Amino acid sequence: MKNSGLATRLIIFILSSTALIFVAALTYNYSASKATIMADAVEDAKNLALATGNKIEINLNGVEKIPRILAGIMEEQPAHREDLLRLINRALVNNPEIYGIAVAFEPFAFDPKQYYFAPYASRDQGQTKVSFLGSDTYRYFFLDWYQIPKELQRPLWSEPYYDEGGGNIIMSTYSMPFYRERGGNREILGIACADISLMGLEKLVAAAKIYQTGYAFLISQNGRFLTHPEKTLIMRQSIYSLAVSRNDPDLRRLGRDMIRGGQGFVPVNDFTSGKKSWMYYTPLGSTGWTLGVIFPEEELFANVQRLSQRLMLIGLIGLAFLGLVITLMSRSITKPLRTLAQTTAALGHGDFSVTVPETGAKEIHQLAHSFNELGQQLTEYMEKRDFIRDTFGRYVTQEVVKRLLESEEALALGGETREVTLLFSDLRGFTALTAEMDPEQVITFLNRYLEKMIEILLDYRAVIDEIMGDGILAFFGAPEPMEDHPARAVACALAMQGAMEEINAANAADGLPHLEMGIAVNTGTVVVGNIGSERRTKYSVVGADVNFASRIESYALGGQVLIGPYTYQRVQELIEVGETIHAEMKGIPEPATLYEVRAIRGPYNLRLKERQETLRPLAASLPVHVYRIKNKILTGATAAAGINQLCDTAAVIHFAGELAAWEDVRLHFLDAEKNERPGKIYGKVTAVEPGEGGLRVAHIRFTSVSSECREIIREALGGGD
In this predicted structure, what is the pLDDT of residue 104?
93
CA 476 to chain centre: 25
Please provide the CATH number assigned to the domain covering 616-718. Answer: 2.40.10.220
In this predicted structure, what is the pLDDT of residue 339?
67
Residue 614 amino acid letter: T
From 526, 528, 430, select the one nearest 470 (Cα to Cα). 430
Q: Please count the other Cβ atoms lying within 10 Å of the Cβ belonging to residue 203.
A: 12
User: Among the listed ranges 23-27, 157-161, 281-285, 577-581, which one has the minimum average pLDDT value?
Assistant: 23-27
Give residue 247's region: left, alpha or beta (phi > 0; psi -120 to 50).
left
Please provide the CATH number assigned to the domain covering 209-300. Answer: 3.30.450.20
In this predicted structure, what is the pLDDT of residue 335?
62
Q: To the nearest 10°, the Cα dihedral for 413, 418, 421, 422?
A: 30
Please indicate whether residue 412 or residue 307 has the higher confidence score (pLDDT).
Answer: 307
Rounded to a whole number of angstroms, the CA Rg of the chain reads 34
In this predicted structure, what is the pLDDT of residue 568?
96
Please indicate whether residue 69 or residue 46 has the higher confidence score (pLDDT).
Answer: 69
Q: Please state the CATH superfamily assignment of the domain spanning residues 78-200 in this structure.
A: PAS domain (3.30.450.20)
User: Among the listed ranges 194-203, 394-403, 509-518, which one has the minimum average pLDDT value?
Assistant: 394-403
CB 195 within 8 A of CB 99: yes
User: In degrees, to the nearest 5, what angle opens at C-alpha 486 toward C-alphas 483 and 488?
Assistant: 80
From 510, 58, 490, select the one nearest 285 (Cα to Cα). 58
| Digit-coded pLDDT (tens) for 294-334 | 888 888 777 776 776 677 777 777 767 767 777 766 666 56
Mean pLDDT score, 694-708: 86
Q: Residue 422 — very low, low, confident or very high, per pLDDT cuts 50/70/90?
A: very high
Q: Does residue 391 have a pLDDT over 50?
A: no
Q: Does residue 207 have a pLDDT over 60?
A: yes
Sheet holding 276-283, edge to edge: 225-227, 215-219, 290-296, 276-283, 264-269
CATH number, domain 407-607, options 1.25.40.10, 3.90.45.10, 2.10.25.10, 3.30.70.1230: 3.30.70.1230
Q: Do domains 407-607 and 616-718 have the same CATH topology?
A: no
In this predicted structure, what is the pLDDT of residue 600?
95
State the angle between helix axes of 334-348 and 6-76 in degrees (0 to 180), rounded to the nearest 10.
60
Please provide the average confidence, as pLDDT, over all residues in the chain: 83
Mean pLDDT score, 277-305: 83
In this predicted structure, what is the pLDDT of residue 387?
42
Please indicate whether residue 38 or residue 520 has the higher confidence score (pLDDT).
Answer: 520
Mean pLDDT score, 129-143: 90
In this predicted structure, what is the pLDDT of residue 12?
73
Mean pLDDT score, 337-342: 64
Q: Residue 407 — very low, low, confident or very high, per pLDDT cuts 50/70/90?
A: low
Mean pLDDT score, 414-433: 85
| Digit-coded pLDDT (tens) for 663-689 | 888 899 999 888 989 988 888 888 899
Please indicate whether residue 62 or residue 607 has the higher confidence score (pLDDT).
Answer: 607
Exposed / middle / buried, residue 76 (Cβ in 10 Å: 0-12, 13-18, 19+) = exposed
Q: What is the DSSP string of 441-495?
A: HHHHHHHHHHHHHHHHHHHTT-EEEEEETTEEEEEES-SS--TTHHHHHHHHHHH
Mean pLDDT score, 476-484: 89
Q: Does residue 10 have a pLDDT over 90?
A: no
Residue 566 amino acid letter: Y
In this predicted structure, what is the pLDDT of residue 210?
80
Mean pLDDT score, 348-367: 67
User: Among the listed ranges 122-131, 204-213, 277-286, which one has the minimum average pLDDT value?
Assistant: 204-213
In this predicted structure, what is the pLDDT of residue 101?
94
Non-local CB neighbours of 191 within 8 Å, separated by 6+ positions? 102, 103, 104, 145, 146, 149, 150, 175, 176, 177, 178
| Digit-coded pLDDT (tens) for 97-135 | 898 999 999 999 888 889 999 999 998 888 899 999 999
Domains of the chain by residue range: 78-200, 209-300, 407-607, 616-718
In this predicted structure, what is the pLDDT of residue 390?
44
From 147, 124, 143, 145, select the one nearest 135 (Cα to Cα). 143
Mean pLDDT score, 477-484: 88
In this predicted structure, what is the pLDDT of residue 414?
62
State the angle between helix axes of 6-76 and 198-206 in degrees (0 to 180), rounded to the nearest 10.
150
In this predicted structure, what is the pLDDT of residue 350?
64
Mean pLDDT score, 481-489: 94
| Digit-coded pLDDT (tens) for 620-633 | 889 999 998 887 77
In this predicted structure, what is the pLDDT of residue 483?
92
In this predicted structure, what is the pLDDT of residue 525?
94
Say how far apart CA 564 and CA 521 lie, in whole Å: 6
Mean pLDDT score, 79-104: 90
In this predicted structure, what is the pLDDT of residue 333?
57
